[in-house]
Amino acid sequence: MKIKTRYFISFLVLISFNMIGQSHYPGQHRGKINLDDTSNVKQFNFDVQDVKLLDSRFRENMERGSQWIISLETNRLLHTFRTNAGVYSGKEGGYMTVDKLGGWESLDCELRGHSIGHILSALAILYASTDDDKYIEKSDSLVSGLAEVQKIINSNGYLSAYPENLIDRNIAGERVWAPWYTLHKLFSGLIDQYLYCNNQEALQVVEGMANWAYNKLSPLTEDQRATMIKNEFGGINDSFYTLYEITGNSKYKFLAEFFYHKDVLGPLSKGEDILNKKHANTYIPKLIGIAREYELDGEEQARTIPEFFWNTVVDHHTFITGSNSDREKFFEADQISKHLSGYTGESCNVYNMLKLTIHLNSIDPKEKYIEYYEKALFNHILGQQDPATGMISYFLPMKPGAHKVYSTPDNSFWCCVGTGFENQVKYGEFIYSHNQNGLFVNLFIPSVLNWEEKAFKLKQETQFPTKETTIFSVENAPDKALVINIRYPSWATSGAEISINGEKKIIKQVAGSYIKLERVWTKGDKIEATFPMELKIQPTPDAENVVAITYGPIVLAGKMGKENMQGSAPYSNPNLYNDYYTYDYNIPENLTNHIDLSMNQLLKNIERKDDDSLNFILKGNNIELSPIYDVHRERYVIYWNLN
């Protein structure tokens, strides 16, 4: 999300952000998607209910995330909506009967209501992946509460936690935070409730909202449209495309195209990297919407623009962890070493880049997409959650000696908390994908895939990345041949080993591709895949002596202790206004990221501690190096300064 500092007498700070929920990828939600979005793509996604996570840290994160969501009472989440409509349940309208949510869900925050959209999306995914009725019960109470509010507002389908006046201000070009951005989350959450949980009321409510939007926007002049979309609107075009696919109603296609942002997309279509100083998360979701357009109609530029954008971001604007941005903005291409601040790597950006990655991989599959996805998932998203409390960090600070700053349970509700609700429950989303001929294993995460259409069931067991070997067991198989493509990661530069039922296979492929295994599988077949990892020193593009250390796809960070951590650290202080953005890390003066070694010497001085953890020791300096996803509640260094 984005904070715009305003230079007005009041010195008000306006936060505008962007981001989104709702996931529909080609191949998913059959029976609910009425327009074909599969004929322009080459690879398809499984529905999340086809993939069950087995015990692992991913599953643990999901469980902590779900506990937090369930702990937020329905009345509290609906309170701003009910206040907006003047409708309360029971005695709620009485003075101080509801314990109000704080942070960005406060009654005086212009973004209020955004969290409920993310929570609806997360609940939908949780229900689909676990079949646990508690998620349906919670979802239903939220959706029916929203339906009631929409009815009472009685304004052509308008539904929000803030008055329609905020939209009018946006249209008039007046100062307002980001009302379409916020509405987008609500659209997405309701659409997900329909797609994953078959909640018909959610579809009715969201169609009502879309009809309101059509009546509101279709009479606008081109000037009004251009003015309005200058403000952050998240990925609302994505939601309208999905609603169009579900209903076939061309009004929703009109709405999706209404948010086509020519000023942004024009330069990108010419291959210009204009990202310097641009608010990253205002950009990324727009491109997801454009990729969705390609999936629907195959319009060439709707593929090339998002591809150019993705390559530009990943190749020239991305930290070693897969994160991007400094104070939420892209900076000059490749100038990584100059932007190691305490406010790098907004988590929403990674959430959106991962979504865009899946869309682009569907359109034109490339190992480069999976490589990025794995890097960002393990190094950023997995470690975004504090394992002790389930709280979420906004940034992944690159500043040497900084630490992750976590939210509070009910007094933060930053954008990254919203996307964090979703991030932590959808780890099953992209472990596998498929085409007509076979299965692709993209990620090494313990799970069971049930590919019903092919009567194929595969179990994946692994302690990756601590161990290099992953074992796949066939639990059910069709009586004809099927291809299993196992990813041969680009980081596995020292080779790979594959055996089927103990018999070693000759591997013809090279790192950065898939190993194709085709046969008539039978129940009980076992595939063992080993991809050795290596330590690497990774210089920044703009300063050879500023380096990060990786082991396979995993970024290792130096653990630098807790000295000088003060006050609420490592948590945000709920008494301070948006302190994630002004946080003083109080880094001790003697803490240094300087190592008196050359690159080669550094490599020789790192030693793995033991085989059961991924901890290393930097000899001489006696600094412990651990995966950044494992470093919590203490200071760390990701980028080192060498001689």
Enumerate binding residues for Zn ion (CB under 5 A). 1, 346, 348, 415-416
Backbone angles phi, psi at 2, to 5 degrees: -125, 135
Shortest Cβ 24–Zn ion spacing (Å): 22
Nearest to Zn ion of 53, 119 (CB atom):
119
Which of helix, strand or coil describes residue 43? coil
Shortest Cβ 417–Zn ion spacing (Å): 8
Encoding tokens for residue 511?
Answer: 């790192």
Nearest to Zn ion of 114, 261 (CB atom):
114
Nearest to Zn ion of 1, 69 (CB atom):
1
Q: Decide: 146 and 116 in contact? Cβ < 8 Å.
A: yes
Nearest to Zn ion of 83, 281 (CB atom):
281
Return d(Cα 118, Cα 354) in angstroms, integer: 16
Backbone angles phi, psi at 468, to 5 degrees: -95, -10
Encoding tokens for residue 333?
Answer: 């291409």
Q: Please, which residues have CB within 8 angstroms of residue 381's CB and are 6 or more apart in sequence?
A: 347, 350, 351, 354, 423, 424
Shortest Cβ 23–Zn ion spacing (Å): 17
Return d(Cα 340, Cα 335) in angstroms, integer: 10
Return the residue matching tokens 């398809």: 44
Nearest to Zn ion of 77, 348 (CB atom):
348
DSSP summary character for residue 579? G
Nearest to Zn ion of 397, 552 (CB atom):
397
Q: Please, which residues have CB within 8 angstroms of residue 631's CB and are 6 or more apart in sequence?
A: 383, 404, 557, 559
Shortest Cβ 577–Zn ion spacing (Å): 16
Shortest Cβ 419–Zn ion spacing (Å): 6
Shortest Cβ 273–Zn ion spacing (Å): 23
Encoding tokens for residue 222?
Answer: 């081109």
Return d(Cα 45, Cα 57) in angstroms, integer: 23
Nearest to Zn ion of 422, 429 (CB atom):
422
Shortest Cβ 68–Zn ion spacing (Å): 17
Shortest Cβ 231–Zn ion spacing (Å): 17
Encoding tokens for residue 628?
Answer: 């950044």
Encoding tokens for residue 568?
Answer: 């609420």
Helix (H) or strand (E) holding 85: helix 74-85
Nearest to Zn ion of 111, 205 (CB atom):
111
Q: Decide: 290 and 306 in contact? Cβ < 8 Å.
A: yes
Nearest to Zn ion of 146, 415 (CB atom):
415
Residue type, 539: P
Nearest to Zn ion of 26, 285 (CB atom):
285
Which of helix, strand or coil describes residue 300? coil
Nearest to Zn ion of 37, 346 (CB atom):
346
Q: Which of 6, 18, 573 is nearest to 328 (CA)?
A: 18
Q: Please state whether 572 falls in left (phi above 0), alpha (psi between -120 and 50) or beta.
A: beta
Shortest Cβ 61–Zn ion spacing (Å): 18
Shortest Cβ 221–Zn ion spacing (Å): 32
Encoding tokens for residue 163?
Answer: 């008055």
Shortest Cβ 415–Zn ion spacing (Å): 3
CA distance readout (Å), 17 to 160, 435, 497, 571: 17, 36, 45, 22
Shortest Cβ 394–Zn ion spacing (Å): 6
Nearest to Zn ion of 160, 281 (CB atom):
281
Nearest to Zn ion of 345, 627 (CB atom):
345
- Give the residue nearest to Zn ion (CB): 348
* H helix intervals, 248-343: 250-258, 262-269, 280-297, 301-316
Cβ-based burial of 179 (10 A; exposed 0-12, middle 13-18, buried ≥19): buried
Encoding tokens for residue 93?
Answer: 């309208």
Q: Decide: 592 and 558 in contact? Cβ < 8 Å.
A: no
Encoding tokens for residue 330?
Answer: 């892209």
Return d(Cα 165, Cα 81) in angstroms, integer: 15
Give the distance from CA 192 to its chain's centroid: 16
Shortest Cβ 442–Zn ion spacing (Å): 25
Concatenating the DSSP letter of every residue in 320-383 gives: TTS-B-BTTB--STT-GGGG--TTB--HHHHHHHHHHHHHHHHHS--HHHHHHHHHHIIIIIGG
Nearest to Zn ion of 61, 450 (CB atom):
61
Shortest Cβ 414–Zn ion spacing (Å): 6
User: Cα-atom radius of gyration of the chain, to the nearest Å?
Assistant: 24
Nearest to Zn ion of 28, 121 (CB atom):
121
Return d(Cα 326, Cα 1) in angstroms, integer: 12
Shortest Cβ 396–Zn ion spacing (Å): 11
